[in-house]
């Protein structure tokens, strides 16, 4: 595997075509100035030691030196060893509701932000477990598959909002099916799905999907975000200022209520547990403790574990070219001039 550690330095290579354009323009201006000053044969007499060829040669040496320096600064590395690192853990899919009702503020700052905070905290505690994220509203999508790259998982989580899934609704059953499709059942790892939602399922048969997951040994945990009494859903303008609450077609304010009965039934079918989300508690932490108590299986992750620097392959020729450019004079080389003169005399005599 080959990579550059500092890819930003490769932009220095763009200086080379720019420098060629500038050099061509300077050469044209210089030639016109010389032609206005004197005829070519007169200029050769006025500056007999000036070399016509050494100036472009020195310029070419500088260009090549610049290219090699840019590659050296980018620090080419080559992976020299492929190792299979054994890791032990469970496969955990978070299924997160991104429907508009998750903006209700009966949990501070709101249902969605509280859920994201808990997921961040969970990711920070993971050690060897693989985590994936399914997001859903009226449809379900894999935000990121099962991974042990926790930094990348946090980045994907940061950008989530209710507009990430355009189709309105709450398709919990579809989200469970999407998570099931993403599991690799050939690997005998413990598999867990954690559903974080307000429970107002509007699409598909969620209980049928839960039964199918349980039949394959997948544990289902549910976290209900919100309160049974419900809360209105605030509407914000482009500047982030609240302008109203979501209303139905009759103009009445929509109140989003937590459907605890459905979430309790899903957890019961899936041999897991139900938790009600609160502002103060971390329900995912309790679930992770349950998951950690499971018998965990070993799985292998192939990765390049050893990289060696190769910047010296570019730094050495760059230094050599710079030294040559410094030592090369723009004046004619005497022994070459004498050689040309002797050849001309031989041509005259013959």
Mean pLDDT within 150-156: 91
In this structure, are residues 55 and 331 in contact, taking their beta carbons and an 8 Å threshold? no
What average pLDDT does this structure show over 107-135?
A: 90
Give the pLDDT mean for 189-193: 91
Across the range 280-291, mean pLDDT stands at 86
pLDDT of residue 335 exceeding 50 = no
Paired strand residues for 88: 298
Rg (CA), the chain: 35
Q: Return the SS3 of 13.
A: helix
Distance CA 277, CA 230 (A): 13
- The predicted structure's pLDDT at residue 29: 83
How do residues 216-257 score in pLDDT, each as one tens digit? Answer: 999 999 999 988 888 998 988 888 888 899 888 888 998 988
Residue 288 pLDDT: 86
User: Tell me, what's the pLDDT at 98?
Assistant: 93
Q: What is the pLDDT of residue 211?
A: 95
Average pLDDT value over all residues in the chain: 82
The confidence score (pLDDT) of residue 324 equals 85
Predicted local distance difference test score (pLDDT) of residue 228 = 87
Domains identified in the chain and CATH numbers: 2-75+311-349 (no CATH), 84-302 (3.40.50.410)
The Cα–Cα gap between 90 and 329 comes to 69
């Amino acid at each position: 595997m080959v990579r550059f550690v500092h890819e930003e330095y490769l932009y220095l290579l763009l200086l080379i075509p720019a420098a060629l354009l500038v050099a061509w323009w300077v050469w044209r201006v210089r030639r016109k100035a010389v032609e206005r000053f004197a005829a070519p044969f007169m200029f050769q007499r006025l500056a007999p030691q000036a070399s016509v060829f050494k100036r472009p040669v020195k310029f070419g040496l500088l260009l090549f030196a610049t290219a090699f320096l840019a590659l050296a600064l980018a620090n080419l590395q080559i992976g020299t060893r492929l190792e299979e690192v054994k890791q032990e853990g469970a496969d955990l899919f978070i299924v997160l509701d991104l429907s508009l009702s998750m903006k209700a503020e009966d949990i501070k700052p709101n249902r969605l932000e509280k859920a994201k905070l808990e997921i961040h905290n969970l990711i920070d505690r993971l050690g060897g477990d693989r985590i994936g994220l399914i997001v859903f509203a009226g449809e379900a999508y894999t935000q990121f598959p099962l991974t042990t790259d926790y930094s990348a998982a946090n980045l994907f989580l940061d950008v989530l909002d209710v507009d990430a899934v355009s189709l309105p609704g709450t398709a919990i059953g579809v989200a469970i099916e999407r998570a099931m499709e993403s599991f690799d059942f050939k690997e005998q790892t413990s598999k867990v799905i954690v559903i974080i939602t307000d429970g107002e399922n509007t699409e598909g048969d969620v209980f049928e999907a839960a039964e199918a997951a349980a039949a394959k040994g997948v544990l289902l945990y549910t976290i209900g975000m919100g309160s049974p009494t419900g809360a209105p859903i605030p509407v914000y303008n482009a500047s982030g200022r609240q302008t109203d609450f979501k209303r139905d077609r009759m103009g009445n304010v929509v109140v989003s209520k937590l459907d605890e009965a459905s979430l309790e039934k899903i957890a019961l079918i899936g041999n897991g547990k139900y938790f009600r989300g609160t502002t103060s508690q971390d329900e995912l932490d309790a679930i992770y403790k349950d998951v950690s108590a499971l018998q965990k299986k070993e799985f292998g992750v192939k990765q390049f574990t050893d990289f060696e620097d190769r910047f010296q392959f570019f730094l050495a020729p760059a230094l050599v070219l710079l030294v040559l450019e410094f030592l090369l004079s723009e004046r004619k080389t005497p022994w070459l001039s004498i050689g040309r003169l002797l050849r001309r005399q031989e041509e005259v005599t013959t």
